[in-house]
Amino acid sequence: MNRLSYLVRQDRTSKGLSRRAYAKKIGISHTYLGTLERGISEYSGGTLRPSVETLQLLSDYFDIPVGKLLEMSGEMPEGSHDEFMTTTQSEIQRLIEDPVLRKVTQNFTKLSATDQKMIQGMIERLVENVE
């Protein structure tokens, strides 16, 4: 059982809820909840790897970032979520303080809706080509 499975089971039992009632609160099936609490995939017999949708539902329910849940499930190395968030926050701060980007943002809002859509389309195509 991984830490995510333990968290789910402990939370449910501490609230005295049945699997069916608890699963309904989260938004998953009660049978999948049982699998999640065991932490073992019924198909492979290996460690359960929750879907992105399940992780998002758990994230919303527990108010814990998905990255932390990935760490708890063993899918991400311990501490990598914090490192990612620190890097992301400093990158966002750098972008906010960039005078050129600030001017682009100010001017973009002054454009017509048609021009904004055209530029957004160009940016989306650039992003697609990078990925």
pLDDT tens, residue by residue, 18-72: 999 999 999 999 999 999 999 888 888 888 888 888 989 999 999 888 888 888 8
The larger pLDDT score, comparing residue 120 to residue 75, is at 120
The answer to pTM > 0.75 is no
Residue 131 has pLDDT above 60, yes or no: no
Residue ranges per domain, the chain? 3-73, 80-130
% residues pLDDT > 90 (the chain): 30
Q: Which superfamily does 3-73 belong to?
A: lambda repressor-like DNA-binding domains (1.10.260.40)
* pLDDT score at 81: 61
Contacts 24+ apart (CB under 8 A), 61-70: 61/25, 61/26, 61/27, 62/7, 62/11, 69/4
Among 14-18, 52-56, 75-79, 94-98, the minimum mean pLDDT is found in 75-79
Residue 82 has pLDDT above 80, yes or no: no
